[in-house]
């Protein structure tokens, strides 16, 4: 694998010298994107739809237990639903953060010639960035399994602490690199340094760069549109339907419970599909 990467990057000269900051960020960024996409595919095939079915069944069982006046069963069913939702959300966050950090690593790799730090400093920052980019998804993935076990805090477990530490590393490195860019342009005015990677005018490189930028921009635009027009509306519907379900159980109205469960199932078909489309567009993910 290393020989293949060496041959692919050999044409970029010193910008991709062994263990340079740019090389670390490019290889690490590509690795994060690939692992994130593969993880997303596995999750979509083996966990996502099965969890959605189990969540619906758990809500139905909990509402039925409330209808029958069985308080202990209601608590147990809703605890199971909460566990399934936590498992679902942490896996999605793991997948999305890995791909997002991969794209950020590639962006920082492009900026390397305009960062006014020594190569050693930039390389150390690249290692710290990749460490944080690995720790945050790993910590998020483990939240569902570790919980609050042996945690020094009442509300935050070790997995969350690890994830927060990883996010802090990524944030600090990004801020440091941007500070380096600021110092570069402050000292060099508007002068742009020549860069062999971006100076390439090959047709294939231009098409891939333009096409990739268009896909990312369209994905972000769709995500912004969904957040502005549909997200809060779907959350309000979710609350309303669950309220109807609870009121139906309290009043022993089986018809209202069944109608609420049907409405909730229909909402989950619409809302998750749109949000997955948003994540797919912005992350170039192929998950169903």
Domain interval for residue 54? 17-194
Determine, yes or no, domain membership for 76. Answer: yes
How many other CB atoms are there within 10 angstroms of residue 107's CB atom? 13
pLDDT interval class at 56 (50, 70, 90) = confident
Locate 23 and state its tokens: 């090389």
Same domain, 221 and 82: no
- What pLDDT is attached to residue 197? 65
Q: What is the 3-state secondary structure (H, E, C) of the chain?
A: CHHHHHHHHHHHHHHHCCCCHHHHHHHHHHHHHHHHHHHHHHHHHHHHHHHHHHHHHHHHHHHHHHHHCCHHHHHHHHHHHHHHHHHHHHHHHHHHHHHHHHHHHHHHHHHHHHCCCCHHHHHHHHHHHHHHHHHHHHHHHHHHHHCCCCCCCCCCCHHHHHHHHHHHHHHHHHHHHHHHHHHHHHHHCCCCCCCCCCCCCCHHHHHHHHHHHHHHHHHHHHHHHHHHHHHHHHHHHHHHHHHHHHHHHHCCCHHHHHHHHHHHHHHHHHHHHHHHHHHHHHHCCCCC
- What pLDDT is attached to residue 117? 93
Of 286 and 217, the one with more pLDDT: 217
Last residue of a domain, one of 166, 194, 222: 194
Domain at 181, CATH number:
1.20.120
Same domain, 268 and 206: yes
Last residue of a domain, one of 194, 216, 236: 194
Same domain, 149 and 262: no
How many other CB atoms are there within 10 angstroms of residue 4's CB atom? 8
Of 33 and 68, the one with more pLDDT: 33
Last residue of a domain, one of 134, 169, 194: 194
Same domain, 254 and 177: no
Same domain, 141 and 208: no
- The pTM score is 0.77
CA distances from 275 to 55, 232, 268 (A): 18, 12, 11
Tell me how far apart the alpha carbons of residues 195 and 119 are, in angstroms, rounded to a whole number: 16
Determine, yes or no, domain membership for 41. Answer: yes
Same domain, 155 and 266: no
Same domain, 235 and 96: no
Determine, yes or no, domain membership for 51. Answer: yes
Determine, yes or no, domain membership for 3. Answer: no
Q: Which residues contact 256 (CB under 8 A, 6 or more apart)?
A: 244, 245, 247, 248
pLDDT interval class at 14 (50, 70, 90) = very low
Tell me how far apart the alpha carbons of residues 3 and 253 are, in angstroms, rounded to a whole number: 68
Residue 35 has pLDDT above 90, yes or no: yes
Tell me how far apart the alpha carbons of residues 275 and 155 are, in angstroms, rounded to a whole number: 28
| Section 111-136 average pLDDT | 94
Determine, yes or no, domain membership for 6. Answer: no
Determine, yes or no, domain membership for 56. Answer: yes
Q: What pLDDT, in 10s, does the model give residues 152-199?
A: 888 899 999 999 999 999 999 999 999 999 998 887 655 555 666 666
Tell me how far apart the alpha carbons of residues 185 and 175 are, in angstroms, rounded to a whole number: 16
Alpha carbon 100 to its chain centroid, in Å, reads 6
Q: How many domains does the chain have?
A: 2
Whose tokens are 């996010």? That residue is: 167
Determine, yes or no, domain membership for 82. Answer: yes
Same domain, 213 and 139: no
Contact 75, 125 (CB under 8 A): no
Contact 217, 281 (CB under 8 A): no
End-to-end CA distance of the chain: 29
- What pLDDT is attached to residue 199? 66
- What pLDDT is attached to residue 5? 47
Contact 170, 132 (CB under 8 A): yes
Of 263 and 270, the one with more pLDDT: 263
Same domain, 233 and 105: no
- What pLDDT is attached to residue 224? 87
């Amino acid at each position: 694998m290393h020989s293949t990467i060496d041959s692919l990057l050999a044409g970029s000269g010193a910008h991709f010298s062994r263990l340079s900051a740019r090389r670390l960020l490019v290889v690490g960024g590509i690795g994060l994107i690939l692992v994130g996409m593969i993880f997303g595919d596995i999750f979509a095939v083996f966990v996502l739809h099965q969890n959605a079915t189990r969540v619906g069944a758990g809500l139905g069982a909990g509402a039925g237990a409330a209808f029958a006046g069985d308080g202990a069963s209601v608590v147990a069913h809703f605890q199971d639903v909460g566990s399934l939702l936590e498992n679902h959300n942490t896996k999605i966050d793991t997948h999305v953060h890995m791909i997002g950090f991969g794209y950020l690593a590639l962006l920082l790799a492009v900026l390397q010639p305009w960062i006014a730090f020594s190569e050693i400093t930039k390389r150390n920052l690249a290692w710290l960035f990749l460490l944080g980019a690995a720790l945050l998804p790993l910590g998020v993935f483990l939240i569902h399994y570790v919980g609050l076990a042996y945690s020094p805090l009442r509300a935050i477990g070790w997995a969350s602490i690890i994830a927060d530490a990883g996010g802090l590393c990524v944030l600090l490195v990004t801020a440091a690199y941007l500070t380096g860019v600021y110092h570069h342009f402050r000292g060099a005015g508007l002068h742009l340094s020549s860069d062999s990677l971006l100076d390439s005018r090959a047709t294939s490189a231009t098409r891939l760069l333009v096409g990739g930028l268009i896909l990312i921009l369209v994905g972000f635009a769709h995500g912004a549109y969904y957040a502005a027009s549909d997200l809060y509306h779907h959350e309000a519907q979710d609350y309303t339907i669950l309220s109807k379900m609870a009121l139906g159980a309290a009043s022993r109205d089986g018809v209202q419970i069944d109608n609420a469960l049907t409405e909730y199932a229909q909402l989950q078909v619409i809302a998750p599909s749109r949000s997955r489309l948003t994540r797919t567009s912005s992350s170039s993910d192929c998950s169903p």
